[in-house]
Amino acid sequence: MKKLFLILAACLGMSSAFAQASVCGGYHKSNCIIEGTKADRKAFGYNSQSKSGLFSQGTTSKMRCVVYKGMDYRMTVCCDVEILGDKIHFKIFDGRTMELLFDSQKNEDTHQFEFSAGSTRQLVIELTVPTGEVKEEKGKPSDAACVGMLIEHKVADKTGFSQY
């Protein structure tokens, strides 16, 4: 009887964990809008380090990402604008030195950033959802929504003289 109870408890725990993960699981795949031409969109490929999560207003969260030398990267952040607004801030830090490499607030609150990796390094991406007016839906305040960080990559174009 004890074994049956333990197995049932474990199954219930796993099902609630899967339910929480599925709330925003693939949000970045279907909702992050990529700027640029169709040819440009096809050039970049999906990076499996992309993530989505449920964020409340005033929440800050960090994630780690590894970028490789000789690759171009595009990072796009997206969310439900009606609930969280369009001023999501993200910063990119060097994972070793914590040097600030990019700040979206200093770049017209852009939601997209492209760069070439000059060396293989670990990055820390910090997302912040500012506080704002809380919308009410069916009498309940709605101050949480899905946020996605879509990371894409491609082999960098060769520039300059390839050999002397």
| CATH number of the CATH domain containing 89 | 2.60.120.380
Condensed to tens digits (0 to 9), the pLDDT of residues 56-91 reads: 888 899 999 999 999 999 999 988 777 776 778 999
Residue 41, domain member (yes or no)? yes
Residue 38, domain member (yes or no)? yes
Count of domains for the chain: 1
Residue 110, domain member (yes or no)? yes
Residue 42 pLDDT level (bands cut at 50, 70, 90): low
How far apart are alpha carbons 47 and 32 in whole angstroms?
13
Q: Which residues, including other chains, have CB under 8 Å from residue 36's CB and lie 6 or more apart?
A: none
Residue 52 pLDDT level (bands cut at 50, 70, 90): very high
Residue 163 identity (one-letter amino acid): Q
Residue 134, domain member (yes or no)? yes
* pLDDT recorded at residue 15: 38
58 or 100, greater pLDDT: 100
Residue 18, domain member (yes or no)? no
For β-strands 112-116 and 71-79, DSSP reports them as antiparallel
pTM summary value:
0.75
| Residue 21: pLDDT over 70 | no
Residue 1, domain member (yes or no)? no
How far apart are alpha carbons 53 and 146 in whole angstroms?
6
How far apart are alpha carbons 131 and 2 in whole angstroms?
47
Host domain of residue 35: 26-155
* pLDDT recorded at residue 70: 92
CA angle 102, 116, 87 (to 5 degrees): 30
Residue 6, domain member (yes or no)? no
Cα→Cα distances 160→67, 99, 123, 125, Å: 22, 29, 27, 31
| Residue 6: pLDDT over 60 | no
How far apart are alpha carbons 111 and 81 in whole angstroms?
12
Residue 120, domain member (yes or no)? yes
Condensed to tens digits (0 to 9), the pLDDT of residues 115-147 reads: 999 999 999 999 998 887 655 555 444 678 889
43 or 149, greater pLDDT: 149
Number of C-beta neighbours around residue 57 at 10 A: 18
